[in-house]
Amino acid sequence: MVLSLLDSVVGVVATLVLSALAVVGRALTPWAGAVAALFGAVIVVSAGFPFLAMLVLFVVASSLATRVGFDQKSARKVQEGIRGERGISNVLAHILLPTAIALLVGLAPSVLSPFAGAVLFGAALAFGAADTFASEIGVLSGSARSILTGRLVEPGTNGGVSGPGEAWALVGSLATAVIGVGLFALFSNPLNPPGPFVALVAGAGFVGCQIDSILGELFENRGLLTKGSTNFLGMLSSVLVALGGLWLLGPH
């Protein structure tokens, strides 16, 4: 569902304003804000306002999570950026797949139905929220263990997980799914029934976060992947898990 000309103008202006606010609020660097504005405009024009609203929700939630215990994270040198701002590589890792999904929803509805598109888009952002909450808040727990071997590792180590971190990952993915239902209803695009959407989005986001940790330990720690590429593959895994769930669910 590509927006009408008037709605497209409104959507693009809203995207530009929101991206500027993210830069002013130091959630994004100026160049990252420009990239977010460009891709955000494509998302809203292609798929509509609920998709943009979910993206904005992710950016706001990530920014807030980044600022939790920031002084403690900064002292241990595990903080994001200088003051919590995210750069171009981080934005690209988290926005490329959602943009591709939004384009399919708008330009090829016969390939990807609005409901399926909402699920895959939500799963991608649920991964982002789960990963961000787990890393930004879980790192404050004081201890972590390797997701593969169970041995103690320094908090913030790629592949290191903790009980609080896992709990926050679930909170991030589940909150994305539940609030997503509300946002689609708010913009007169209700997801009926909402149960499958919540289950698929929350489950896929959480599973993708675990896969991200495994990739981080196996490949990022060895210099075979960057943080951005690990995040991208983790998000891709969430989308694939959600796609598998849609296939099991059948036509909808």
* pLDDT tens column, 94-112: 999 999 999 999 998 888 9
The sheet carrying 160-161 orders its strands as 152-153, 144-146, 160-161
More confident residue, 235 or 1: 235
Phi, psi of 244, rounded to the nearest 5 degrees? -60, -40
- Residue 235 pLDDT > 90: yes
- Residue 212 pLDDT > 60: yes
- Residue 65 pLDDT > 90: no
- Rounded CA gap, 220 and 34, in Å? 28
- Residue 75 pLDDT > 90: no
Which pLDDT band holds residue 252 (cuts at 50, 70, 90)? Answer: low
Structure confidence at residue 78 (pLDDT): 60
**Interval 191-208 mean pLDDT:** 95
What distances in angstroms separate CA 145 from CA 87, 153, 173, 210, 213, one per listed residue?
Answer: 28, 5, 21, 13, 11
Structure confidence at residue 140 (pLDDT): 83
**C-alpha Rg value of the chain to the nearest Å:** 17
For the ranges 3-7, 112-116, 135-139, 207-211, the one whose mean pLDDT is highest = 207-211
The 10 Å Cβ neighbour count of residue 175 is: 18
- Residue 175 pLDDT > 60: yes
Q: At what angle do helices 114-136 and 227-249 cross, to 10 degrees?
A: 140
Structure confidence at residue 182 (pLDDT): 96
